[in-house]
Structure 1
Amino acid sequence: MSATDPRVEAHLAKARSWKQELLALRRIALEAGLTEELKWYQPCYTHAGGNVLILGSFKDFCTMSFFKGVLLKDPKGLLVSPGPNTRSARMARITSLDEVHALEPALKRFIAEAKALEEQGIQVDFASDRANTPVPVELREAMADDPELHAAFKALTPGRQRGYLLHIGGAKQSATRTARIAKCRDRILAGKGWNER
């Protein structure tokens, strides 16, 4: 079993819900030889310098989320995407201690596979996702009319570009998309993502 992190101990001691389930998931992660850390205020488990999984607690369930879950073999579909725009992570949603015990063999397989991915340095290919994120017409028009905006947008990291595309494109009305572009212009010119300060 790997060494425990006292910050995780303190975090789990304060847990109001899913405490027994989280402790069982933690045991599985530690028995697999992962390194325990507290990241983003959550128990996080790493291997070979990379994040492997993170535990989370929500109102209706707790989770064991795999950072590169999209690369894991999951023929039974036990892992789900946290949201519609999630490209890499996949999580097991847990609603009881019995479910943790029932899923334990599968979770151990996922952890072993995720560790191997880290050891081999395998990364998720996000390039195809970027190419499939549509550019809203209003943004294309704004960049055509504003070369400074166009150059600044193209200079953003791919992740920041995608964030703006999702934020702007998420508006249902053209007027709202146009307003979002105007509101985001200064941040784009500053090289920041849409939710960065």
Structure 2
Amino acid sequence: MNSKVDEYFRSVPTWRDELQTLRRIVLQCGLTEELKWRVPCYTFGGKNVVILGTLKSCCTISFFKGVLLKDPRKVLDKPGENSRSARLIRFTSVDQIEAIEPILVAYIREAATLEKAGAKVELKNDAGPDYPEELTACLAENEPLRAAFENLTPGRQRGYILHFSAAKQSKTRVARIKKCEQRILDGKGLHDCVCGLSGKLPNCDGSHKQMRNS
């Protein structure tokens, strides 16, 4: 167990019992426990396998490469309509988790085996960029942000994904996501005008900056 994750569980305001149950199940599968993006993340050989998260209506366990899992029980869902790699399972009670514990163990071990084998998610060239892991994690812990991001047009989503993914370091990707949160919640694209002064709406033409400097 990781002491930083211990602190997370002491301070998490909702779904604590459910998350503790998921933690127990994941740890018995031999993964390494870390705290990434402010949530418990479990790795194998330094590679991210699953993360735990909370939404207003449920808690979740998310598989970073869940699309590669066989999923014979059909329990995996997409985090969002355009998610092509990550898959998650939503829970609202400890009983619900324990009812499928053997399935969870099998899926977690399969996901770890895929990482050990170096499995990659093959993306179609015309499918657009995939979510960076940091964005997947942020959307998993922030239901309003997830809903707002899914409501953006595909072009606006693509703009954000490319902007976040372009950063080389994880901490920079997280900082970019945090900086854009309010813009996303407002339904704005990365280059949309937010002041209403642009002559090229919805795009920004720098009018606000020009007015401020005049």
TM-score, with structure 2 as normaliser: 0.62
What is the DSSP-based 3-state SS (H/G/I as helix, E as strand, rest coil) of the residue aligned with 1:131? Answer: coil
Paired with 2:62 and 2:88, the residues of 1 have a C-alpha distance of 4
1:104 aligns with 2:104: no
Mapped to 2, the partners of 1:40 and 1:114 lie a distance apart of 20
Taking only aligned residues, the RMSD between alpha carbons, in angstroms, comes to 2.9
SS at match of 2:62: strand
In 2, the alpha carbon distance for the partners of 1:41 and 1:52 equals 16
Per the alignment, residue 41 of structure 1 pairs with 38
From the superposition, tell whether residues 76 and 179 of structure 1 become closer, same or farther in structure 2 (CA, over 3 Å): farther
Q: Could you tell me how far apart the structure 1 residues matched to 2:106 and 2:201 are?
A: 48
Is residue 118 of structure 2 the alignment partner of residue 116 of structure 1?
A: no
Q: Following superposition of structure 1 onto structure 2, how do residues 71-86 of structure 1 map, counting pairs within 5 Å?
A: 71-86=68-83
> Which SS does the other structure have where 2:100 is aligned?
helix
Q: Provide the rounded CA distance (Å) in 2 between the counterparts of 1:49 and 1:15.
A: 25
Deviation at 1:183, TM superposition (A): 3.7
Q: When the two structures are aligned, how many residues end up with a matched partner?
A: 147
SS at match of 1:76: coil
Q: CA 1:183 to 1:30, structure 2 compared with 1: closer, same or farther past 3 Å? A: same
Asked if 1:95 is matched to 2:97, the reply is no
Structure-1 residue corresponding to 2:13: 16
After superposition, residues 163-178 of structure 1 pair within 5 angstroms as none
Deviations along 1:140-176, whole A, 9 cap, x unmatched? xxxxxxxxxxxxxxxxxxx61899xxx87xx9xxxxx
Deviation at 1:15, TM superposition (A): 1.4
Pairing 1:131–2:133 present: no
Partner of 1:64: 61
Q: Output one character per residue of 1:19-48: Cα deviation in whole Å (capped at 9) or x when no partner.
A: 000000000111110000000000000002
The superposition leaves residues 90-124 of structure 1 with CA deviations (integer Å, 9 ceiling, x where unpaired) of 00101100011011111101111001111000111
Aligned residue runs from structure 1 range 139-154, under 5 A? none
Q: Residues 19, 120 of structure 1: CA spacing in aligned structure 2 closer, same or farther, 3 A cutoff?
A: same
Residue 160 of structure 1 corresponds to 162
CA distance in 2, matches of 1:7, 1:70: 29
Higher Cα radius of gyration:
1
Task: Return the letter of the residue paired with 2:37.
Answer: W
SS in 2 for 1:25: helix
Alpha-carbon distance in 1 for matches of 2:74, 2:59: 17
Supply the distance in 2 between the matched residues of 1:77 and 1:132 (Cα, whole angstroms). Answer: 23
Aligned equivalent of 1:55 = 52
Deviation at 1:75, TM superposition (A): 1.9
